[in-house]
Homo-oligomer: A and B are copies of this chain.
Amino acid sequence: MATARTPDKRPYQSTELRQSATIEAVVQLCAEQDPATLTTARIADEVGLSQGALFKHFPNKNRLWESVAGWVSGQLTSQVFREADRHEQADQSLEAMFLAHVGFISRHPGIPRLMLGELQKPSNGPAKTIVRQTLVRYRKKVVGLLQLGIEQGHIAAGIDTEAAAVLYLGAIQGLVVQGMVSGEMATLEQTAPRIFKLYAASFQEIPNDPKK
């Protein structure tokens, strides 16, 4: 008798599709809610399922968080690193990475909350490990680019590359926190170039050589 209540949405979907839809729903929800307070009921509601149905696609909540962390790590790494590989000069790669990273966050405002929330957990669960390894890999990439830039002669030779990598990630962090304080995550991309320009000034090869 009663036909489908949501006509355009197929009521039954494969576990694979439900999983990716759930992960994206979590990322979406984190943009407006503290991840720690996210209940399975709220998540299920966002996907369009009942709370119990969620556990047909994920064995438990922890595994769901693990999947979310994996998705974030993969997306962030691929999108940012890809942008870096499109340039020859290391300093240009760094700038492209920076802007791509900020853009990614701007498109998914919940991700800083997600990653910071994981890092805050004292227990070394799988999700936290994924986030940590992602950051470690990211920092190594930055250090590598800085050293390449030194070899290319575009970055000052005597620079503290480890510190510069920390400051690089810190610049993004500061931008994000500033966005959280002001409540406007939308204007991030607007401010990002100004921050990077200043950051780059800290290791720029000073063209004070008036040999000619």
A157 at interface, CB cutoff 8 A = no
How many monomers of this protein are in the complex? 2
Is there an interface contact between B169 and A171, defined as CB atoms closer than 8 Å? Answer: no
Most chain B CB neighbours (cut-off 10 Å) among A35, A121, A173, A178: A173
Main secondary structure on chain A at its contact with chain B? Answer: helix
A186 at interface, CB cutoff 8 A = no
For residue A206, which residue of chain B has the nearest CB? B206
A180 at interface, CB cutoff 8 A = yes
A151 at interface, CB cutoff 8 A = no
A122 at interface, CB cutoff 8 A = yes
Q: A169-B174, A178-B169, A181-B135 are in contact. Are A198 and B163 (CB under 8 A)?
A: yes
The CA-CA distance from A190 to B177 in the complex, in Å, is 24
Q: What is the 8 Å Cβ interface bit string for chain A, positions 162-205, against chain B (1 contact, 0 not)?
A: 11101111111111011011000000000100110111011100
Number of interface residues of A (CB under 8 A): 47
A160 at interface, CB cutoff 8 A = yes
A3 at interface, CB cutoff 8 A = no
Is there an interface contact between A164 and B198, defined as CB atoms closer than 8 Å? Answer: yes
The CA-CA distance from A195 to B174 in the complex, in Å, is 14
The CA-CA distance from A32 to B120 in the complex, in Å, is 9
Q: What is the 8 Å Cβ interface bit string for chain A, positions 109-132, against chain B (1 contact, 0 not)?
A: 000010011011110000000001
Contacts of A195 in B (CB 8 A): 163, 166-167, 170
A37 at interface, CB cutoff 8 A = yes
Within the complex, the shortest CB–CB distance from A42 to chain B, in Å, comes to 13
A85 at interface, CB cutoff 8 A = no
